[in-house]
Structure 1
């Protein structure tokens, strides 16, 4: 794992110095002090070195979902699981900042990150739809729709908090900010999360392919 981290750090440093297109695998391996073949034991390409931790984090998130008791509020479990994703980013602020700056400069890498992050949304939707409280419902029902929308809202909340944290130089308590955002989501999509009487359900419709930050903004406007 140490070598994997060193390779990723070397890749990010070289991309910042010489640009993404000009940097080669040989340069990354040399900067990390390993052989070219060692690089390929960890990554299939130089682009894979930019987002090295998601596979492990997906496994951690899956374990949280699978380890939850059937009687636990399902959206609370999803909110607990998304904290593991933010924990991955906040564990190494300098690396996260370097990655953020690079992704802003290279659209192809940004698209790759979006695709990776969508894995969490699919995991959460699958978990919510398979939960005993909704298992067996009509896929076209309002219940099924709300499961998918609430999973999207959780991921959008995470992305919103993460971006704000990175834009401010990775300072401040990002986890507390995430918990505050998730509390709003739970109150709206799972009223039993607190002692308040259930309120109206608000459904926001956005075009397919809408960026997660825009989805969150649309949800916030609807709730306001």
Structure 2
């Protein structure tokens, strides 16, 4: 059995600078009304430093997601966990990062609810998560897996994560990560035929029902059964 790898939170600790002050400013003033200078002032930077650090208003809002994606990709590339465990652990680490600052998570959610342009960017972020998972699964699942399997599992992982995150935003509670892990394991079990390759003899066993004359001798029955098996 593979040794459990450290979570992405321990693999990389260079989390992005806390952008909660900038997100709060965007929420209070409105996305369109807030300038880069306003955001630079909110985080205590010069305008040029702000642009070097964040790039744009959108990048401030999604800084945690960019970091979570980088950590997830690094984890999946380096882990020796079985794929069924790796996708659970990687997804859980994304949630750990996104809820580590409850105020920033709540403000980000409120800002996206009020700003259609940010909801469009959120869809792009969702697709990026799916692509990272799908790329990993394509090279990790059994070679005979159907072409659609990686995409289907990837989309399901992201859907379960996003649903759990939204539940937490409405009703924050400390057991959110264990809850997500339980739900992800249920998901993995639904895809068990693709996560777990058959063993050496599994998938080759056959059941044969024999119908024979009760008056036949044991030797005659065995000879008939052997002939049928040899013909298979």
TM-score, structure 1 as length reference: 0.74
Q: Look up the match of 1:167.
A: 170
- Report the CA distance between 1:56 and its aligned residue: 2.3
- Report the CA distance between 1:164 and its aligned residue: 0.4
Q: Look up the match of 1:102.
A: 111
CA distance in 1: counterparts of 2:114 and 2:137, whole angstroms: 36
Q: Does residue 39 of structure 1 match 2:67?
A: no
Q: Look up the match of 2:74.
A: 63
- Report the CA distance between 1:44 and its aligned residue: 1.7
- Report the CA distance between 1:146 and its aligned residue: 1.9
CA distance in 2: counterparts of 1:62 and 1:15, whole angstroms: 29
What secondary structure is seen at the aligned counterpart in 1 of 2:124?
helix
Q: Look up the match of 1:202.
A: none
CA distance in 2: counterparts of 1:54 and 1:17, whole angstroms: 22
Partner deviation per Cα, 1:31-75 (whole Å, 9 max, x = no partner): 222211111111221121111122322221112212223xx5323
- CA 1:146–1:105 in 2, change beyond 3 Å: closer, same or farther? same
Q: Look up the match of 1:133.
A: 142
Structure 1 runs not aligned, ≥5 long: 194-224
User: 4+ runs of 1 displaced by more than 4 Å?
Assistant: none
Structure number with greater CO (CA < 8 Å, separation at least 6) is 2
Q: Look up the match of 1:10.
A: 21
Q: Look up the match of 1:179.
A: 181
Q: Does residue 189 of structure 1 match 2:176?
A: no
Does the 8 Å CA contact 1:75/1:128 hold for their aligned counterparts? no
CA distance in 1: counterparts of 2:130 and 2:36, whole angstroms: 32
Answer with 1 or 2: which has the greater Rg: 2
What secondary structure is seen at the aligned counterpart in 2 of 1:23?
coil
Does the 8 Å CA contact 2:16/2:67 hold for their aligned counterparts? no
Q: Look up the match of 2:38.
A: 27
- Report the CA distance between 1:3 and its aligned residue: 8.4
Q: How many residues align?
A: 182
What secondary structure is seen at the aligned counterpart in 1 of 2:28?
helix
- CA 1:64–1:33 in 2, change beyond 3 Å: closer, same or farther? closer
Does the 8 Å CA contact 2:95/2:165 hold for their aligned counterparts? yes
CA distance in 2: counterparts of 1:3 and 1:90, whole angstroms: 14
What secondary structure is seen at the aligned counterpart in 2 of 1:152?
helix
Structure 2 runs not aligned, ≥5 long: 1-13, 197-232
Note the 1:195-210 alignment, pairs <5 A: none
- CA 1:11–1:172 in 2, change beyond 3 Å: closer, same or farther? same
- Report the CA distance between 1:145 and its aligned residue: 1.4
